[in-house]
Amino acid sequence: MSRHRLNGRKLGRNTNQRKALFKGLLNSLIIQEELKTTQTKAKAVQRLFDQLVTKAKPSTVHARRLLHAFLGNKSSVNKLVDDLTKRFGHRQSGFTRVTKLGLRRGDNAQIVKLELVDKSSPDLKQTQKSTNSPKKPTKKTSKTSTKSSK
């Protein structure tokens, strides 16, 4: 049997287990805006998340009902429609980023962090401000002033 025209990953689970796994991972990704999982699960969830954001963009009652039927979590549906679609309004796709973290000790599986591209958290804003400010332009000017005085 060939693999032509077969899409999706089974992940060693039956259909109901796989749907429940994806539902839990998607709810975690929407609410926490990041998750750590294996690379194959992240790739499967990444595809589904892109489809959900595209469904949520019209921000209609019908879109909310479709999303709630799939996710089953009212707070994640509200966050997806109200908050995330406004952040991703200018993007057509590519709403998530995968960062490799290393190998899991037990089975040597590749562990990755799946996070939203336009992640808005106070920690991120503080780290960006702190990384931009310590370039220390005052010391550079003091070095040039000491050279010019000699």
Whole-structure pTM over 0.95, yes or no? no
Q: pLDDT digit string (tens) for 42-88? A: 999 999 999 999 999 999 999 999 999 999 999 999 999 999 999 99
Q: pLDDT digit string (tens) for 118-148? A: 876 555 455 555 555 555 555 555 555 555 5
Q: What is the pLDDT of residue 31?
A: 96
**Domain limits, the chain:** 15-117
Level-2 CATH architecture, domain 15-117: Alpha-Beta Complex (3.90)
DSSP character string of the chain: ---TT--S--TT--HHHHHHHHHHHHHHHHHHSEEEEEHHHHHHHHHHHHHHHHHHTT--HHHHHHHHHHH--HHHHHHIIIIIHHHTTT-SS--EEEEEEEE-TTT-PEEEEEEETT---HHHHHHHHHHHGGG-HHHHHHHHHHHHH-
